[in-house]
Amino acid sequence: MVSFLFVDPETYRKYKDQVLALSHAVQVDFQEHLPSDQDHPALSDREIGERLGLDERVVREIRCVAERDAYGIEEFEEAARFKDRACRDWARSGMSAVMKPYVDKAKGKS
């Protein structure tokens, strides 16, 4: 007996990539003046269910797990290092902290 609704691992593995691609997880051309991207249309759970022939609640479960599953826990560890570096570099160097590599590249420097 299932005690509460959660998706079985097999169904999850089968659909997670499709569900994630159709959801808001990756947002492509979201600006109001741009036409919607067909590979990443940012559909609701109901709309995804209609496309994939799945119940809306099953889609929601797959999506919720996939949102958490998209990146490993090490990404969260790395995030703190990224922000620490970016924030301190900005305080020290301002805009060149982010633009310098691209400016150098445009000028032909390595």
Partner 1 sequence: MSAKETVDFAQAKTELAAEAARSGALLSGVAAAAAFDAAPEGRRPVDVLPRAEAVFVIGGAAPRAGDWVSPNYQHMEVTTTSDRIQTIALKIARVIEDRFGYYAVCVPPGVDRGQQPFVSIMLAAELAGCGSRSLAGPVLHPEYGFMYFAAVITTLPLPSDLPLDQPACPAPECTSMYAAEGTTPCLKVCPLGDGGCLAGKLADGRVVERRYDPVRCATRVQNYWVPGFQHVLKETLAEPDPERQKMMLFSSLFTRTLWSMTYANVSQGQCAECLRVCPVGRERRQKH
Partner 2 sequence: MTEGAAQRTREVKELALAAGADVVGIADPKRWAEHVPEGARPADILPGVASVVVVGNRGPTAGAWRSPNHRVMEINGYDFRNDAAIHRVADHIEHRHDHYAIQAPGLPTGGHLPPFSMMLAAVLAGLGTRSLAANIILNPKYGLLYYSACLTTLELEFDPMLEQDVCPHRMCVESYRRFGKTPCLAACPVEEGGCLDGSIGADGRIEHSYYDRERCVSRAMNFGINSFQKALADIVAEQDQERRETMIHSDFFSRSCSAITHYKESVAQCFECMRVCPIGRAERKLK
Contact residues toward partner 2 (CB under 8 A) are: 20, 24-34, 43-47, 60, 63-64, 67-68, 70-73, 75-80, 82-84, 86-88, 90-92, 95, 97-99, 101-103, 105-106
**Burial label, 7 (beta-carbon count in 10 A; 0-12, 13-18, 19+):** buried
Least distance between partner 2 and beta carbon 18 (Å): 15
Find the binding residues for partner 1 in span 60-79 (CB under 8 A).
60-61, 64-65, 67-69
CA 51 to CA 93: how far, in whole Å?
A: 49
Asked if residue 16 binds partner 1 (CB under 8 A), the reply is no
Using alpha carbons, select from 19, 11, 15, 16 the residue that is nearest to residue 41.
19
Residue 77's identity, in one-letter code, is E
26 binds, among partner 2, partner 1, none (CB under 5 to 8 A by kind): partner 2
CA 86 to CA 48: how far, in whole Å?
A: 37
Number of residues that bind partner 1 (CB under 8 A): 15
